[in-house]
C-alpha cells in the first residue's frame, strides 16, 4: 500500500480532492523551482486512469511539450517516476518508439506529443475509449493560448468529463501571455501557485536549500523569480538589471575567470565578439570589451582577437558555422561550439535577465546600444510576444555564447 501523502506535496492536497470530486476541468499549476507541481500531475494522471478503469470507464491521456524531442527526458521520465512511486510498475509498460505508456490490464495509453504545429493534434487518436487527461508542460514555451485552444478543441471530445493540466514556471515578464492567462478569472479553472517552501525538506535534499539561500542572499530578484515563481519583470524591456558605469582597468585585473563569445556574420549582419567576467558572489556580469563589425573575414576577426591579447581564454562560438570555428582554430584560437538544444536560446536569455549586466558604454558601445533598446515585440492586439526578437542582437548573442558554460549547465536555467 502507498500513502498518497508520501508522493503528493501538502500544498496539492486540496487540488487532489478537487479533481476527485470533479469540480473543475482546467487545473493551472504554476510556481517556482522545486514546487513538485509536475510530480503531482504525473501522479494524478496515472492514478486517475487506474481509478477510471475500476469504475468501468476507459480513459487515456495525452501529454504535450512544445518540442517533442524534450518529452523523453522530461514528461516521459516524470510519468515513469509516478508509476514507480505508486508501486504499480508491474501493471504498466513503457515504449519510446512510439513514445507511450500502456496500462497492461486494459490497454489504456498515455501518449506524448510535440506541438511544432497545433493542427497536428488532430492526428492524435486512441482505438478505445477517449482522452480524458491532457497535460501541457512548460506552458509558457507554447506560442499562446490560441495554440493551446486548438489542441483542446481537437482532443477534448467523446467523453463526459475531462481534466486538463497546464504547468509552468512563471516567465520573468509579468506581461507574458502565460502570466496573463492565469491572472484571468474562469469558473471552470482551478489556479494553484506553489513553491519549494511547502514541500517536505527531505524530498528536495539539503543542497537545494543551500543553493536557494545563496541566491536569496546574493540576488534576491533572481531568487524571487526562480524559487518563488514571481514574475519580476515589468513592461517590454528584456534587460532590466543594468549597472551602467565606468569600468576601471584595476577592476578588470581583479577578475579571476574570463568568458568570451563569438557571433558569426559578414553582411548585413556583423561579426560580434564579447569578452566578459562573471562575479558569482554578486551575480553580476562585467562586460569588458567587444570587437567586430560588418564585412570582416574570419582571418581578420581572429587577428583582431589575437592583437588584443584575447587568445588567453577559450571562445564559445555560434554553433551554426562549423567552418568559421575551424578558421579560428587554424589561427591558433581555442574556439568551441556553443551547446544548442531545444529551448537553449530562451534559457540563456532568462539566465542573463536574472543577473546584473555591468556595462561601460565607452568599452562596449555596441553591446550597450543593443541591451538598452532590446524589447519584447507587441502584436496587433497590444499583447507582448513571449519570444525574444531575432535581429539587432549580435553582441547580445556573443554575450549569451560567452556565458553559456554557466547558463546551459543543468539546473541553472531561470
Active site residues: 138
In the three-class reduction of DSSP (H, G, I as helix; E, B as strand; rest coil), residue 59 is classed as: strand
Q: Please provide residue 35's backbone torsions phi and psi, each rounded to the nearest 5 degrees.
A: -85, -10
Angstrom CA distances, 201 to 9, 10, 11, 36, 389, stand at 11, 12, 13, 12, 40
CA distance 6 to 86: 9
Task: Give the 3-state secondary structure of 127-195.
Answer: CCCEEEEEEEECHHHCCCHHHHHHHHHHHCCCCCCCEEEEEECCCCECCCHHHHHHHCCCCCEEEEEEC
β-bridge mates for residue 335, sequence order: 315
| Closest C-alpha to 316, from 297, 334, 304, 343 | 334
Whether the CB-CB separation of 286 and 258 falls below 8 Å is answered with no
Tally of residues, the chain: 414
Q: How far apart are CA 347 and CA 224, in angstroms?
A: 17
Query: Residue 97 gets which letter from DSSP?
Result: T
The 10 Å CB-count burial string (b at 16+, else e) for 326-353 is ebbeebebebbebeeeebbebbbbbbbb
- Name the one residue in this structure whose C-alpha cell is 508542460: 137
Query: Rounded to an integer, what distance in angstroms lies between the CA atom of residue 298 and that of residue 283?
Result: 33
Peptide bond into 98 cis (omega under 30): yes
**E strand spans, 309-369:** 315-317, 335-337, 356-359
Could you tell me the three cell numbers for 335? 574556439
User: DSSP labels for 241-291?
Assistant: -EEE----HHHHHT-S-EEEEEE---SSSPEEEEEEEEETTTTEEEEEEEE
What are the residues whose beta carbons fall under 8 Å from the beta carbon of 71, sequence distance 6 or more? 63, 65, 99, 112, 113, 114
Give me 273's grid cell. Answer: 565578439
At 336, list the grid cell: 568551441
Amino acid at each position: 500500500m502507498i500513502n498518497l501523502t508520501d508522493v503528493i506535496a501538502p500544498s496539492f492536497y486540496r487540488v487532489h480532492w478537487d479533481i476527485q470530486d470533479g469540480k473543475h476541468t482546467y487545473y493551472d499549476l504554476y510556481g517556482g523551482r522545486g514546487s513538485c507541481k509536475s510530480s503531482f500531475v504525473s501522479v494524478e494522471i496515472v492514478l486517475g486512469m487506474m481509478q477510471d478503469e475500476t469504475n468501468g470507464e476507459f480513459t487515456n491521456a495525452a501529454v504535450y511539450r512544445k518540442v517533442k524531442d524534450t518529452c523523453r527526458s522530461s514528461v516521459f521520465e516524470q510519468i515513469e517516476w509516478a508509476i514507480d512511486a505508486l508501486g504499480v510498475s508491474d501493471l504498466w509498460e513503457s515504449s519510446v518508439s512510439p513514445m507511450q505508456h500502456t496500462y497492461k490490464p486494459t490497454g489504456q495509453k498515455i501518449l506524448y506529443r510535440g506541438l511544432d504545429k497545433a493542427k497536428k493534434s488532430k492526428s492524435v487518436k486512441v482505438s478505445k475509449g477517449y482522452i480524458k487527461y491532457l497535460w501541457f508542460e512548460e506552458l509558457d514555451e507554447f506560442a499562446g493560448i490560441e495554440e493551446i485552444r486548438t489542441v483542446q478543441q481537437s482532443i477534448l471530445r467523446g467523453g463526459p468529463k475531462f481534466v486538463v493540466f497546464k504547468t509552468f514556471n512563471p516567465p520573468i515578464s509579468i506581461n507574458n501571455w502565460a502570466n496573463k492567462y492565469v491572472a484571468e478569472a474562469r469558473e471552470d479553472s482551478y489556479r494553484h501557485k506553489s513553491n519549494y517552501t511547502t514541500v517536505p525538506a527531505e524530498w528536495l535534499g539539503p543542497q537545494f536549500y543551500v543553493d536557494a539561500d545563496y541566491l536569496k542572499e546574493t540576488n534576491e530578484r533572481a531568487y524571487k523569480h526562480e524559487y518563488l515563481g514571481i514574475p519580476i519583470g515589468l513592461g517590454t524591456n528584456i534587460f532590466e538589471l543594468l549597472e551602467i558605469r565606468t569600468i576601471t582597468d584595476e577592476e578588470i585585473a581583479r577578475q579571476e575567470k574570463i568568458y568570451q563569445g563569438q557571433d558569426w556574420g559578414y553582411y548585413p549582419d556583423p561579426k560580434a565578439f564579447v569578452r566578459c567576467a562573471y562575479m558569482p558572489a554578486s551575480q553580476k556580469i562585467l562586460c569588458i570589451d567587444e570587437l567586430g563589425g560588418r564585412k570582416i573575414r574570419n582571418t581578420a576577426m581572429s587577428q583582431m582577437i589575437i592583437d588584443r591579447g584575447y587568445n588567453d581564454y577559450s571562445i564559445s562560438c555560434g554553433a551554426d558555422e562549423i567552418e568559421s570555428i575551424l578558421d579560428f582554430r587554424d589561427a591558433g584560437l581555442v574556439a568551441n561550439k556553443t551547446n544548442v538544444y531545444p529551448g537553449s536560446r530562451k534559457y540563456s536569455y532568462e539566465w542573463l535577465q536574472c543577473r546584473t549586466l555591468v556595462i561601460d558604454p565607452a568599452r562596449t558601445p555596441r553591446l550597450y546600444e543593443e541591451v538598452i533598446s532590446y524589447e519584447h515585440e507587441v502584436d496587433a492586439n497590444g499583447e507582448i510576444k513571449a519570444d525574444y526578437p531575432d535581429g539587432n542582437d549580435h553582441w547580445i548573442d556573443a554575450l549569451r555564447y560567452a556565458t553559456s558554460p554557466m547558463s546551459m549547465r543543468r539546473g541553472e536555467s531561470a
